[in-house]
Amino acid sequence: MTADIQPARTISITTTSLASRLYGLGSLSAKTLRDSRRAMLLLGGFLALIWLISGASMATAFGTPAARQEAVELTRTLPALFLGLYGGDATNVDTLGGLANWRYGLVFFVFPAFWSILALSGTLVGEVRRGSMDLLAASGLTRTRVALEKVGAHVAAMAIVMLAIALFAWLVGQVFYTLPGDHIALEASLAYALAMGLTALAGGAIAFALAPFIGRGGAAGIGAAVMFSGWIVNGFRDTIPAFESLAPLSWYTWTAGHRPIAGNWDWPSMLPVAVLVVAGIAVGIAAFIRRDLGDIGSLRTPSQPTAVLGISGPLGRSFGERLPDALGWGVGLGVYSAVVGASADSLRESLTGNEAIQGLFAAAFPGFNLNEPGVALQLMFVGFGMLAIGLAAAAIVHGWSSDESDGRLEMLLATPQDRFRWMIRSGLGVFAALAVVTLVVALAVALGVGLSGENPLTPIVGTVALALFALAVGGIGMAIGGLVRPSLAGPAAALVVVVTFLVDILVPALQLPEEVRQLALTAHFGEPMLGTWDPVGIVLALALAFGGLAIGALGFARRDLGD
Amino acid sequence: MTAVIQTEKLTKFYGRHRGIVDVDLEVAEGEAFGFLGPNGAGKTTMIRTLLNHIRPTSGRATVFGIDTTVDPVAIHRRLGYLPGEFVLYDKLTGGQTIEYFANLQGGVDSAYQADLIARLDLDPSRKFREYSKGNKQKVGLVVALQHRPELLLLDEPTSGLDPLVQQTFYGVIREAKAEGRTIFMSSHILSEVEKTCDRVAIIRDGRLAKVDRVEALRDLAHHQVELRFAGPVPAAEFEGLAGVSDVVVEDHTLRMRVSGPITPIVLAAARHEVVDFVSREPTLEETFLAEYGQGAGEVA
């Protein structure tokens, strides 16, 4: 045998291109930006669509000076409750920018903030939890650099989305220009986008600062609560006396005078928001640097009682696992429904106190009985409630699908459990959790309507429409998850909800045929808060729910386990 | 003896990607069977196909004489399974997780369950998410064993366990075997398979390369020897020694494979200034692959 003498090897070092250092796998920030691409596209696409709706509705429904005047009158005489939900002030609504700012302020300011909260609450803590931070922190990068690159990438992602939206808003102003004042100056759209992005980052910065101390879930929850309650407090500061003293704490109040697309400028008001963002990020980075890697606190919440943990079988386990989320969604939605439910009286007074508005209202909602206790809920809650409970259903279905996508079923289905039956039972657990969401909302409705001195029975029964919609969404999600793959269950359900929501708002805005609106399941429930029901919606929702579950179970029993 | 596991030309493809190809295998009742192969060879695919978690592309598999695709629940009723990697419910404690699986099995002997928990030194009161990898593995082992299944399917069962608990595990497996239960386990550890298994199969690139009794391993035993010299490497002196093969020289280092006694190597090395001497027993997988790695061999 002869020896194999190996020659000395030449060493070649891999190189990284500038492009991949900016976006891709060339640097930590580039990878973080790459990981954000779907969220950027979703948020950017959604905001662009809202701008398109604003432009189109301004050109069609409010194309004449007289129609614009009607819009102005409407905002002046609308109950404060309506204005509060839209963010309060209605400025220059006779212009495209003013109307978009007033009508869609909630979308423009709250949706990006939710994204920022979700992203920043987990950008470091999520990596720590997964264990990948151990590798990152040992890769030669300092912890400060790791934190700065991760946060910087999110700020860059937000800036890209906002820049794109600013350009789109400017373009909409050019394309849908109908009357003087409709043009949106590029400077104004850029300034407005900067305000949107910076206020969004404020919520994210709070979540980022808290995450090392209380974990991702708690930080995101508190960040979202602070942000959204700030929006509500600002919107209702003139309506609810108790909010007057809280309003100065809200960054939406600080910046209420800075709405460049509506013609209002107040640059100095942005300064404290910028300070808040920098401070929040600095606290988060300092905590990340100083604490042991992996030392993440958690928000102390009461333990789930053993009786509802559901360890007796798949149905109970599925329900028990989803119960905390169901209660969270129920309480969040319930608070809102209670406030709206309690306002039936003031709404009625506002609508009946002005003949012009009463006429407008009667034309818009023929046959609407203003004396019904659920009138405020039907007008101001059902639409949003359907969106919210639909998203709750999508989130709960996503949790359900994680049994398979995370690998729990690998062991579970090695026990004597038939796959079809397992899916039916665990799916019924999901439905039970959605029933809990509705039950909490129903209790809140009862409280709200009861406080206004009305009989809450009809509105309580009306909340069943929310449950039906949620069950239908859940059934669709589980059908997709069972037939195709588990990771599609939640996104498919969320897509159904978002498309339904868009159909609901696009049809009137773009004056599309009523047949298009009939495509949305939500168009088939009647006016449930007023006691008027459409059996078509009930049957359709139940068929989608239980039919979807059965189809999903059949598909699941026939395909390979795993994503 | 009755075959508990039997496969005929069992094949699984994931789209265009190969899982396992034409696997013919038989595991007898009461036998402890080791299943070896490099990463991606098809070990987990084989186990998941036996469980009917994934369906064969062609061929068939029976467990307890039941076709895995016809009545998997009847099979699951009689087996215990520990996956290579698994996730369970973060919010449940270890004890609650074990209880849940006991319920899914239709009830277990609580004394035996408690005995397993005690022997594996598991604290069942902690939340699953708080456990280390080794403790999670212990929970998985209790879940797999607590209902005294007739067949144990174990994928890397001692991964993450400390040496003391590993010994306990081997004890439990020996007991199971003594009670006549069948064990099918994948492993990378020679000593583990030697301690627990009667026969071993090697799978490579999805195909069964060899099936043999564990005793045959000892005949294949060899050492990987590495010598680092202060001066030039006297490779020729070692190439001629009995049992030496695969000699490789790199700078001042000499590597070789030695079958049989190592004394001639030590004596030859002593004639030179040796800076370092390392003798390593190869893993079972390396041993088998070195012997049978060139294409699929016969199946005993």
Average pLDDT over residues A24-52: 91
pLDDT at B299 over 50: no
CB contact under 8 A, B236 and A3: yes
Assess whether B161 and B241 both reside in one domain: no
Q: What is the pLDDT of residue B298?
A: 39
Assess whether B45 and B65 both reside in one domain: yes
| CATH label of the domain that carries residue B144 | 3.40.50.300
Q: Which two tokens stand for residue B43?
A: 């070990």
Give the pLDDT band of residue B1 (cuts 50, 70, 90): low
The Cα of A118 is separated from the nearest Cα of chain B by a number of Å equal to 21
Assess whether B142 and B248 both reside in one domain: no
B241 belongs to a structural domain: yes
pLDDT at A552 over 80: yes
**Chain A residue with the nearest C-alpha to that of B127:** A303
Residue from B45, B48, B50, B53 to probe the interface with A (highest A Cβ count within 10 Å): B53
- State chain A's mean pLDDT as an integer: 88
Cβ neighbours of B133 (radius 10 Å): 11
Assess whether B100 and B87 both reside in one domain: yes
Average pLDDT over residues A78-99: 74
pLDDT at B296 over 50: no
Chain A residues inside the 8 Å CB shell of B80:
414
The Cα of B48 is separated from the nearest Cα of chain A by a number of Å equal to 9
pLDDT at B231 over 80: yes
CB contact under 8 A, A410 and B53: yes
Assess whether B247 and B204 both reside in one domain: no
Which residues partner with B80 through β-bridges? B152
Assess whether B103 and B11 both reside in one domain: yes
Q: What is the pLDDT of residue B217?
A: 66
Assess whether B241 and B152 both reside in one domain: no
**Chain B residue with the nearest C-alpha to that of A5:** B249
Q: Which positions in chain B have a beta carbon within 8 angstroms of at least one beta carbon in chain A?
A: 48, 51, 53-55, 73-74, 76-77, 79-83, 85-89, 91-92, 96, 99-101, 103-106, 140, 143, 153, 233, 235-236, 239, 244-245, 247-250, 254
Distance CA B124, CA B112 (A): 15
Q: What is the pLDDT of residue B218?
A: 61
User: Which of A4, A410, A415 comes nearest B105 by C-beta?
Assistant: A415
Average pLDDT over residues A149-163: 97
B65 belongs to a structural domain: yes
pLDDT tens, B240-281?
A: 898 898 899 999 999 998 887 888 999 999 999 999 999 887
CB contact under 8 A, A414 and B85: no
Q: Which two tokens stand for residue A368?
A: 């609407």
B255 belongs to a structural domain: yes
Assess whether B56 and B186 both reside in one domain: yes
pLDDT at A57 over 90: no
B124 belongs to a structural domain: yes
Distance CA A263, CA A98 (A): 8
B289 belongs to a structural domain: no
pLDDT tens, A450-506?
A: 988 888 999 999 999 999 999 999 999 999 999 999 999 999 999 999 899 888 877
Residue from A410, A412, A422, A561 to probe the interface with B (highest B Cβ count within 10 Å): A410
pLDDT tens, B171-188?
A: 888 899 999 999 999 887
Average pLDDT over residues A141-152: 94
CB contact under 8 A, A416 and B88: no
The Cα of A149 is separated from the nearest Cα of chain B by a number of Å equal to 29
Rg (CA), chain A: 26
pLDDT tens, A356-368?
A: 667 766 766 767 7
Chain B residues inside the 8 Å CB shell of A408:
86-89
How many distinct structural domains can be found in chain B? 2
Distance CA A281, CA A277 (A): 6
Give the pLDDT band of residue A4 (cuts 50, 70, 90): low
**Residues in contact with B242: Cβ distance below 8 Å, sequence separation at least 6, in sequence order:** B260, B264
Which residues partner with B34 through β-bridges? B185, B200
pLDDT tens, B53-96?
A: 999 999 999 999 999 999 999 999 999 999 988 889 988 999 99
Residue from B20, B100, B127, B250 to probe the interface with A (highest A Cβ count within 10 Å): B100
Structural domain of B252: 222-280
pLDDT tens, A210-257?
A: 999 998 888 998 999 999 889 888 887 877 777 788 899 999 999 999
Q: What is the pLDDT of residue B295?
A: 42
In a 10 Å sphere around its CB, with 0-12 CB exposed, 13-18 middle and 19+ buried, how is residue A88 labelled? buried
- Domain range list for chain A: 22-301, 302-342+372-563
Q: What is the pLDDT of residue B21?
A: 96
The Cα of B106 is separated from the nearest Cα of chain A by a number of Å equal to 8
Collapsing DSSP states into helix, strand and coil, what is residue A352?
helix
Assess whether B64 and B142 both reside in one domain: yes
CA dihedral A285, A287, A289, A290 (to 10 degrees): 160
